[in-house]
Structure 1
Amino acid sequence: MAATTTTVEHTPRPERTAASYRLLMCRPQYFDVTYRINPWMNPDKPTDAGAALLQWEQLRRLYLSLGHRVEVIEPLRGLPDMVFAANGATVVDGKVLGARFRHRERTAEGPAYLDWFAEHGFADVLWPEHINEGEGDYLRVGRRLLAGTGFRTDARSHAEAQEFFGLPVTGLTLVDPNFYHLDTALAVLSPDEVMYYPAAFSPGSQAVLREMFPDAILASPQDAAVFGLNAFCDGLNVLLPQAATALAEQLRQRGFNPIGVSLGELLKAGGSVKCCTLALS
């Protein structure tokens, strides 16, 4: 009897291509940690605004070298967290949902960012009724928004965003205070791919993520702890904290080009790559 040969078919790895993005950033000119609104912040720990500015500038230059267009909003004195531009709004198809911050220390950032949008030709702008902290808790994946809640963004804002943008919104509940925004626990890689840290989410939200993204990259506790998921992907290049080495290797195996970035000074305030980056288009 002739021997039979079993052929194992492998799903071909998709060809990755980089898209060009228009991004908004804010220089950490007044960066400091003078209050505590998340577990990463310690006002007794010294900060170095000069080092923060240098690290931020390296990130900006990296975006430019990859072909992205970077615009810069002027920072305001007294708003040390304004550097985290991702929290300033959510932009989808040219429509801008403003941010309404939970903590009084950051409330002035919302109007400041909306003023910038008004001055730069964005006509369809909504000042929100409910608390939401911009792209910190709203991440677009394909033609859907993933929406975080649990610590900052009010779950009622999810319906507000769905009505405004006309896109379905999937709510996800965060349960670990170290991962207080969705963009600290999950990163979008493509219209149907994400990477995330399961333990940051409630059991129900973990089940939703498994259903939606069965082949997602799962971050280890070690990589999550260095903010490895606070990353930006342009379809090919994934900018993420350089300490997230195991996560970078998983990305490489999936055909992405991980690029390690050092933003240790800004991490003292609970922010990294994605926190500094608001996608305009």
Structure 2
Amino acid sequence: MCPPRFFTVDYAINPWMDPERPVDTDRAMAQWTALRDLYLSLGHTVDVVEPQPGLPDMVFAANSATVLDGRVLGARFRARQRAAEAEHFRRWFVENGYRDVTMPRRINEAEGDFAWTGSLLLAGTGFRTDREAHAEAQETLGAAVVSLRLVDPRYYHLDTALFVLTEATETVPASVVYYPDAFSAGSRRVLERLFPGAVLAEEADAACFGCNGVSDGRNVVLPVEATGLAERLAAEGYVPHFVDISELRKAGGGPKCCTMEIRK
């Protein structure tokens, strides 16, 4: 994670961003701190990358690397305003002992568009990550990739429209949450085939970034407004935990955007 010490909205690179709308950096910091503290209370380890002046979106750490079995595939951002973030995160991995670090040649916004299911890497395209970056991720990470096309600009990253509830094991298939209308017709059919028991998010869930959740297989972190989705997940045996991400959402981010999951 990366604290939003320099958080602001000075430019618009997604439909959620409006530079004319006031932003409260202190409130963003408080919301981020509450999210970090929730992870710690649930027994997780949180590594912190230092934010840099002039890079207000560094808080969205999920966009900066994909880590699987200790292999790190860095990011290459589409928007010039975020381009410098990639090097700061690359340096963090090198300085913290990661030796297998690859920087992509194609546009690749990391866990913003890559979701590991335990057996497959779901890969989004349509707005940010290049379709060709999916093959690059497969070669670098050694994971079979399934490409999914996003069609609604409000859900410009895969992680705004889908998250993994439980990773697959040898005996149990993966489970996911997703918002069908964010995907092309063909991608919806792929998701239906892969995850027939998926929890389908409704429009209200997606609009508050409910599909930008984070799950450890039991505990699910959701925006406080995602009450309908929380009820359905509780009925499936999961334990929802709410966080306020209203300030961070002004830049198009939620719990998952703030969270890079490191799989060693």
TM above 0.5, yes or no, is yes
Query: Do structure 1's residue 58 and structure 2's residue 40 form an aligned pair?
Result: no
Which of 135, 138, 144 lines up with 2:111 in the alignment?
135
1:44-93 CA distance string (max 9 Å, x none): 00000000000100011110000000010000000000000000100001
**Structure 2 residue aligned with 1:95:** 71
- Cα distance in 2 for partners of 1:91, 1:166 equals 11
Which of 244, 254, 258 lines up with 1:272 in the alignment?
254
- Cα distance in 2 for partners of 1:278, 1:234 equals 13
- Cα distance in 2 for partners of 1:144, 1:209 equals 12
Runs of 4+ displaced beyond 6 Å: none
Query: Do structure 1's residue 37 and structure 2's residue 16 form an aligned pair?
Result: no
- How is 1:158-237 mapped onto 2 (pairs within 5 angstroms)? 158-191=134-167, 192-237=174-219
**Structure 2 residue aligned with 1:105:** 81
1:87-133 CA distance string (max 9 Å, x none): 01000010000100000000000111100000000100101010000
Which amino acid is 1:140 matched to? W
Bigger radius of gyration: 1
TM value normalised by structure 1: 0.91
- Cα distance in 1 for partners of 2:25, 2:43 equals 27
> Structure 1: which 5+ runs fail to align?
1-24
What secondary structure is seen at the aligned counterpart in 2 of 1:243? coil
- Cα distance in 2 for partners of 1:96, 1:143 equals 17
What secondary structure is seen at the aligned counterpart in 1 of 2:40? helix
Deviation at 1:169, TM superposition (A): 0.2
- How is 1:62-81 mapped onto 2 (pairs within 5 angstroms)? 62-81=38-57
Deviation at 1:166, TM superposition (A): 1.1
What secondary structure is seen at the aligned counterpart in 1 of 2:47? strand
Provide the aligned length of Structure 1 versus Structure 2.
257
1:246-280 CA distance string (max 9 Å, x none): 10001001100011110100000000100000011
- Cα distance in 1 for partners of 2:103, 2:59 equals 21
TM value normalised by structure 2: 0.97
**Structure 1 residue aligned with 2:170:** none
Please give the root-mean-square deviation of Cα atoms over the aligned residues, in Å: 0.5
Which amino acid is 1:62 matched to? L
- Cα distance in 2 for partners of 1:179, 1:40 equals 10
